[in-house]
Amino acid sequence: MQNPVKQKLKNGHKTVGGFLQTLSPVAAEIMSQSGFDWLMVDLEHAPGDFANLQAQLQAMNGSGVVPFARAPWNDVVAIKRILDTGVLGVLVPYVNTREEAEAAVAACKYPPDGIRGVAGSPRAAGYTANAKAYLASANAETIVMVAAETAEAVENLDAILEVEGLDGIFIGPMDLASSMGHLGDPEHPEAQAAIAIIEEKVLASDKFLATIATNWDKARSCFEKGYQWLVLMQDGASLRQAADRAVADFRDTFGEG
């Protein structure tokens, strides 16, 4: 098992991808054929489960895109089941301390580096066909990323960045702003100041920096700062935006309805 995105990140390259939140294998298949480096199936803010996570990964087969998943929580059982479907990267939400970051890494790693349960039968190991090769390479090739999305995480970021086996930090701007008393307002000056602190510290470390960009101007700005991993679209939100634009164009032109 080799993870081309992990190699790109180690080499300092920029990568792009999207969130999959509609539970649709068709959406996963379409987006996997668009040239993204990776796609992330969202199990935190979407109503998906492990079965439809696996179905979406199957829809990506043969495309070359690297599959990620966002865990519903920093939970060792959930992370184990996510990894057994065959994802090569995990985003763990709401990590606020060094201890929580260490727990996230341990959940993603087989012994002796962690506590991930071992089985050669799941899809990740080719239903036993590739078990030996998978078990030998999974610890090194799986990307472990945690979300810094609270004021507490910002306060503890120096210690979090010291965690061995942690690859990247994802800034969750909406939750971060909300934790600081600015619900749904990531552009608030206090939230932006916290984001700047995270940027400075992560970019000075050996971890990659990640976030979500809602438009290309934002993405370009982030990449120019040194971000390496950006969500450029979300399947449901992007479909909604395209539908809104189509209807608006019609109403603007003909004024009917």
User: Is 188 a residue of the active site?
Assistant: no
Encoded amino acid at 37, one letter? D
Given 13, 45, 182, 188, which residue is catalytic?
45
* Active-site residue list: 45
